[in-house]
Amino acid sequence: MTHPPQFEPLAEGLLVRAPAKLNLSLLIAGKRPDGFHEIETVMAKIDWYDELRIEPGSRKIDLVCDGPHWAPDGKENLVYRAAEEAFRAAGWAESVRLTLTKNIPAGSGLGGASSDAAATLLGLNRYFDLQLSPSQLANAAARLGSDIAFFLGGPLALCTGRGEKIAPLTTTFDFTALLILPNINVSTAEVYAHYTHDFSEYERLGRATRTHIAEGRIDRLAQMCANMLETSCYRLCEELGRLKRILESLDIGPICLSGSGSTLYLLAHHADAEDLDRLRERIAIETRCASIIVRNNPW
C-alpha cells in the first residue's frame, strides 16, 4: 500500500501532513519533582492526517482552521504558537497564512494537536529555509509540549521523561488497526490529576516491555495492551469504560486505549478488508460509534 508524502509542494505554498499516533504501550514510572509524571511509552504513527497549508500571507501569522473537527484560531492553537516558536528560534519572521484542516478529533488520545505543532515547525523550516537544526527543532518542540518531539521523527519510538525524550526504534512493525471513535472528549490533565500510582504494576509491565523492546518484538509489546492511565480514564469517564466492556463482550480481541483516551483500538493483524468492514458495521450497530481502519505510517 502506498502512503502520501509528508510534504507536498503547492503552486504558491506547501502542504504538510500531520499524522495521528497510537500508544502501543503507556507506563507511568511515578511523579516527578516538577509535578509532571515520568512516562515510558511506545508510540507509532498511523496513516490518518490533519493537513496544514503554508502560503504567503499579508500579516505575520494568519491562522485559519477548517475541516470536520473544531480547532481554535489564534494563540490558543499550538499551530500558532509553533509558528511563533519557529520564527523566534530562527531570529527572523515572514508573513505567513496557515490553513489547518482538522480531521483528527481533539481529546481522542491520538496526538493531533502535537502532530500539528510538529508539522508547523518542520513545514516552516522547509518552506522559508529557516535553517533550524534538528536539535533546535527538538528544543522548540519541548518548549511547546510533551509529545511534539516524537512527531519530528518516527515512525516508531520509545518516549520517556514527559514524553519529550525520544529513542527511535528501528524495528519494523507493520500493523492494521481499527479505531473506535466515541464522541467523547477526555481531558489529559484531568486523567493525570486523578491517576493513582501502582509501583508493583509498573515493575511488572516494565520488565515485560523492556524485554520485548530488546528482542525487537514490538508485536508482543502491542498485544499486552498496557496502558496505566486506563483506570483513571474510566473512573473519570464511566461511559468510556462501559463502551470498552461492550466491545470486549463481542469477543473480537483485546481492546486497547490510546494515550489518556478517548480512542479505543483493536489491532487486526490477520483480518482482511472485508472482515474489518463487517466488524465496523457490527460495532456501529452495538455501540453507535464510528470507527476507521488505519495502518502504520512509514515516515
Active-site positions? 21, 147
Tell me which amino acid residue 286 is: E
Residues 6+ apart with CB under 8 A from 130: 86, 87, 89, 90, 124
Q: What is the phi/psi pair of residue 294, to 5°?
A: -130, 165
Cα separation, 12 vs 17, in Å, equals 17
Q: How many residues does the chain have?
A: 299
Residue 173's φ and ψ, nearest 5 degrees, are -130, 95
Only one residue has cell 473506535, namely 180
Torsion sign, CA atoms 209, 212, 215, 219? negative
| 118 contacts 152 by C-beta, under 8 angstroms | yes
- Give the whole-angstrom CA distance, residue 281 versus residue 177: 15
Kindly give the residue spans of alpha helices, DSSP state H, lying in the chain: 78-90, 112-127, 134-144, 188-193, 199-214, 218-223, 230-236, 238-249, 273-287
Which 3 state secondary structure label does DSSP give 229? coil
